Structure 1
């Protein structure tokens, strides 16, 4: 009877096991089909969660796109950082595919050395990095193509751009899904496109376009426009205003309507245009050369402080000047050389700039109770103060400005991005043509009836970037010119051109690109280890310094004893020889203590590593074993109780 019961139990166990395996397979198949698009991002910075802007772009794709990642997995295994980054790139691209509703196809290509795939990668312009003596090249780039074989590439996924991974991928998709380059309408009171020069002043007979315009023409379709002639052309995506002084009421109205209708704008105003001051007004030579759009700025929730310049002791450029008949180099407070701490690291346009040069920049402030988002892009250091324009307008004395300087302890905004819904600055239509030097009308009378199609409220949140200096675009501010083989070469010494290109590229991409922010990286520092290392260094550094000083003193004394002021070492007394021997012994002891102290710097870290290894190797398996024993005992107990009841 017991054998029969045992056989039945064995049969039941086998059937239950088979059913369990079948159930597991069924659940996996069902989950794979029913929850294919279900993902949970548990990373701290949501590294694998696409932003609303990216998802909006993917949902509006009208043609299929092909993304091909060229990556040498075998070569990358020798470089763990690149290997891990490649895994994140693949995972993020999988999120793009999942969110594209079938419009994006993703392939991974392995460009092995001397293969056709490697030739394709090189043909697309991807960058291969040599990794060994044999000349094998590691490829880690992306090629995107559309149905008419237009392409855009990321030559190599550099790790320093990991926080911008989503932006770079979304920009690539935007480029191959958009038919043409963004059109930039240029409005300027300065000769940015060149013009007749003054040979008497050492200028060429015809001055070429500014370097920033030449650079932008390689990326965008640049077009000069006249706002007085009528509305902005429908195909213009962005307005670029450079020192817009004395704009008529009609011109400012057209800017207002363009921005309210979803157009983007990058505006360079100036409390003191040093470039414009080179050609003073003959009728009023003492008038300051400034530009502003106060009525538009007020409607957009900001203002530029009139007649004031930002002076920054920390960022001031050093210039040569004469003082009491001798040449000295001193900081010139209104000329700024701004670096990484002055740039907003959360904004794509500024997060990777190295240096920007500005001259006589102004201060931008938000208007009280404005609901428009005021996002600083560039700020001065806290060692800044506001300086009256008068002290610089006719050639400021650097030394006198330093004597007047008193740091206020707060940074001032030099460039800002505005985002939000706004109302028209001209609710009754354009104003009469009379203007003042600052860009606002002498009067505020409407020109006539409100034009047909007048927009009173923005159709979507505006995106406008305002910079408080136009001289930063002048060639002498950020490029050096050299002659080479009969050609004129411009060599950037600052990132002014890159900043302009970044902002226009961002604005040209529409709201989907503008809304993107930097993300964290997939690399996570060992914070506990870092804290231990800092504590250990703080604890032992003083001891190490003391020993190092003793070591130097002992070596010095030993050297003096050995030289003996020119005395023959063979004539030293036994006492002197004993002293030298004692110094040598002390020297060896100090060096040993110094090695011990330096070893202590790593001891706690190595101890932590040992503990972590012990936990991973021993504690966790032991815990699993204890749980298994407990479950086994529990099951045996229930089995005995069941047998007793039978």
Structure 2
């Protein structure tokens, strides 16, 4: 009886209702101590798949102490000294539990399939570089969640996952990371602070608000927040937390350099010069919407297209590189090799690259709207075939090319959907729609495993077509200047695999100029012959990166132009779709350290019932096949009825009527039979699920008693054999 009472106390001690009640008259420290002694407190991590030394020690010491206490109680010589001995044994057991909880709190084993409760090497490297202490405040309204609806209670499991991960941060921080878990109660200072930090609150009752966010603070007053831990970002929890830490301890505003043959930055003129140009009937070129949006977050720097060296920028954005000199290509190459983060947008046919109107018609026809960096792409393990474009009928946009024409699908105008993005990369994980206009195709160049290993090369697709996508070609660019959609459609054939339009490449990349370059100078080789050959100057470069580089490559320029990414409205310029978001995500991701870029999507802490899902999928497949058969039967009967009606001759109306009536009855009987078969399939599916559930339930219910029964039988046999040996020895004596 005493054991049952003790077990009940240890179980109920950790329940939220009990904790709420005890908190009304006990100090917070006492309530926390009682909670730590409960079964639930130590079983939660085991249930999640994390074996911690403190939890194992808790159960081992508790069992050992209780067995020792029971042995004393069961002793026939019962007195006050025995009771004191029991109390002393239990006190020692709980003391050792407390000591082991503090001494071995960092000893744990993550036995989950995808190691979702262990930090990645990238995060450990970020924490290892901390040069100042940081404080992490996890706000979670645990008390309010227990009073909320089921949708809010779901967050309890998610909260345990986040808290466990943050505890890993604190342990790996080696004293540089302090974790504070806060339950903001109504009208408290904690609730006011959570609101001041900008954490999102969700009203549950008239007084209770629900918070679930994180605040990272440095000793220099920098504050970064995750307003709310959204379940949609569960796979990127570690990335989001590490991003907060990485950006909190580094310079606030990053510098982005833009090198482009298009007027992305607009005319860099003062307001006075702009007014003077307007007075002369000229209009200064306005910056692209993407440049205006970037200025709100970053410090922009214009890199000339004839730059000999690129420096003093955190991220280089290369847009539509056309006719670049070898020295400029070399400058881009060396910027990448020396660890500079780079985003390249090339295009086999850019719609926004139009020749000036004042040019003669012949000059306009000779204008080349394509761009490439083939030499660099090849050393990054990619290629973009010339005059080759991505196509996909399932996501092709229907529009009219010319006024008065009927809208038709344009094979080069693609509107990607959520299935077209890599959900395992932070850049593209949450994108839903990006429009592309005559986008090129990016392909991975074949490389040996030794080459990949030497470079630590990782080529990750970011955006692609659906499985029905394929590439299509034109003979020359003039076919797209006045396109005939019917002719272009004939060039396309649906495929079976996605076509990639964007990549993230990381690794110790090799230079396209391993021996450097020789640049011709203005100085002649012969001073007496100024028009003769010029002297050359040699520039050395780094042949291979010492650390991992990161380059994002997109085979389209138009997707970030004002044609697709923005739209003018009564309220001003509006963002359209996720076009600009994809570029901003790429810049945001590359602005982080190399360790941050290496952090990929984590596994999901919600493990699906695979067996149940397989049963449902098989049953659904059977149902679909049966439904198709039924529909085919119905169509066959209807076709047969039409044939009878069409072949009926005058004077056969009664015969036809009887035939129709008979066929109608047969059709109804077949439909009823088919529905009965469908019900049987659903019944079998339900029975299989119930059988599986009963099996799991019985296993959970009977496994523990079976183990205890087995141990009891073994102990009984052992004690019986010892007793028989004792009796035999006594009789011999």
The interval holding the TM-score normalised by the smaller chain is 0.7 to 0.9
Change (3 A) 1:152 1:113: same
Alignment-derived partner of residue 477 in structure 2:
390
Q: In the alignment, does 2:287 pair up with 1:214? A: no
Give SS of 1:122's match. helix
Q: In the alignment, does 2:333 pair up with 1:259? A: no
Q: Distance in 2 between matches of 1:541 and 1:448?
A: 73
C-alpha RMSD of matched pairs (Å): 3.9
Give SS of 2:546's match. coil
Change (3 A) 1:446 1:633: farther
Give SS of 1:476's match. coil
Q: In the alignment, does 2:345 pair up with 1:276? A: no
Q: Distance in 1 between matches of 2:163 and 2:555?
A: 42
Alignment-derived partner of residue 56 in structure 2:
none
1:299 to 376, 379, 387: 379
Give the C-alpha shift of residue 479 in structure 1. 2.4
Give the C-alpha shift of residue 252 in structure 1. 1.6
Alignment-derived partner of residue 645 in structure 1:
729
Q: In the alignment, does 2:330 pair up with 1:242? A: no
The one-character-per-residue Cα deviations of 1:245-269 (angstroms, maximum 9, x if unpaired) are 1222222221122111111100111
Alignment-derived partner of residue 699 in structure 2:
615
Alignment-derived partner of residue 308 in structure 1:
388
Q: Tell me whether 603-612 or 346-355 shows the greater mean CA deviation.
A: 603-612
Q: Distance in 2 between matches of 1:211 and 1:643?
A: 97
Q: Answer whether contact 1:184 1:238 (CA < 8 A) is retained.
A: yes
Alignment-derived partner of residue 400 in structure 2:
320
Q: Distance in 1 between matches of 2:629 and 2:412?
A: 46
Q: Distance in 2 between matches of 1:641 and 1:17?
A: 31
Alignment-derived partner of residue 519 in structure 1:
602
Q: In the alignment, does 2:498 pair up with 1:411? A: yes
Q: Answer whether contact 2:469 2:499 (CA < 8 A) is retained.
A: no
Q: Answer whether contact 2:139 2:184 (CA < 8 A) is retained.
A: yes
Change (3 A) 1:262 1:137: same
Kindly tell me the number of residue pairs found equivalent between the two proteins. Answer: 584
Give the C-alpha shift of residue 204 in structure 1. 10
Q: 1:166-565 to 2 correspondence within 5 Å?
A: 166-195=238-267, 205-226=283-304, 228=306, 230-234=308-312, 236-279=313-356, 284-285=363-364, 286-321=366-401, 327-369=405-447, 371=452, 372-381=457-466, 382-388=468-474, 389-390=476-477, 392-432=479-519, 448-451=536-539, 454-484=541-571, 488-492=572-576, 494-537=577-620
Which structure has the higher relative contact order (CA within 8 Å, separation 6+)? 1
The one-character-per-residue Cα deviations of 1:428-450 (angstroms, maximum 9, x if unpaired) are 4345479xxxxxxxxxx998343
Q: Distance in 1 between matches of 2:592 and 2:720?
A: 67
Alignment-derived partner of residue 569 in structure 1:
none
Q: In the alignment, does 2:227 pair up with 1:155? A: yes
Q: Distance in 1 between matches of 2:678 and 2:399?
A: 48
Q: Which runs of 5+ in 1 are unaligned?
A: 1-5, 435-444, 550-585
Q: Distance in 1 between matches of 2:626 and 2:443?
A: 51
Give the C-alpha shift of residue 308 in structure 1. 2.4
Q: Distance in 2 between matches of 1:266 and 1:433?
A: 29
Q: Distance in 1 between matches of 2:429 and 2:627?
A: 39
The one-character-per-residue Cα deviations of 1:453-496 (angstroms, maximum 9, x if unpaired) are x3232121221111111111111212222113xxx14132x211
Q: Distance in 2 between matches of 1:259 and 1:35?
A: 45
Alignment-derived partner of residue 125 in structure 2:
56
The one-character-per-residue Cα deviations of 1:263-307 (angstroms, maximum 9, x if unpaired) are 110011111111112537657322321111222223333222123
Q: Which runs of 5+ in 2 are unaligned?
A: 1-73, 522-532, 633-668
Q: Distance in 2 between matches of 1:546 and 1:262?
A: 61
Give the C-alpha shift of residue 366 in structure 1. 2.9
The one-character-per-residue Cα deviations of 1:319-342 (angstroms, maximum 9, x if unpaired) are 1257xx974222101111112232
Alignment-derived partner of residue 632 in structure 1:
716
Give SS of 2:400's match. strand
Give the C-alpha shift of residue 172 in structure 1. 0.8
What TM-score comes out, normalization by structure 2 length?
0.71
Q: Answer whether contact 2:520 2:536 (CA < 8 A) is retained.
A: no
Give SS of 1:284's match. helix
Change (3 A) 1:401 1:204: farther
Change (3 A) 1:407 1:543: closer
Q: Tell me whether 351-360 or 374-383 shows the greater mean CA deviation.
A: 374-383
The one-character-per-residue Cα deviations of 1:215-251 (angstroms, maximum 9, x if unpaired) are 22222222212364553233x1110011111222222
Q: Answer whether contact 1:318 1:329 (CA < 8 A) is retained.
A: yes
Q: Answer whether contact 1:313 1:384 (CA < 8 A) is retained.
A: no
Give SS of 1:272's match. coil
Give the C-alpha shift of residue 69 in structure 1. 0.9
Give the C-alpha shift of residue 411 in structure 1. 3.1
Q: Answer whether contact 1:50 1:95 (CA < 8 A) is retained.
A: yes
1:75 to 119, 144, 153: 144
Q: Distance in 1 between matches of 2:383 and 2:535?
A: 25
Q: Distance in 2 between matches of 1:433 and 1:300?
A: 27
Q: 1:568-587 to 2 correspondence within 5 Å?
A: none
Change (3 A) 1:305 1:593: closer
What TM-score comes out, normalization by structure 1 length?
0.80
Q: Distance in 1 between matches of 2:534 and 2:518?
A: 4
Give the C-alpha shift of residue 595 in structure 1. 12
Q: Distance in 2 between matches of 1:447 and 1:419?
A: 38
Give the C-alpha shift of residue 114 in structure 1. 2.5
Give the C-alpha shift of residue 187 in structure 1. 0.9
Alignment-derived partner of residue 202 in structure 2:
129
Q: Distance in 2 between matches of 1:540 and 1:397?
A: 44
Q: Answer whether contact 1:430 1:446 (CA < 8 A) is retained.
A: no
Q: Answer whether contact 1:428 1:449 (CA < 8 A) is retained.
A: no
Change (3 A) 1:154 1:33: closer
Q: Distance in 2 between matches of 1:52 and 1:305?
A: 36
Give SS of 1:463's match. strand
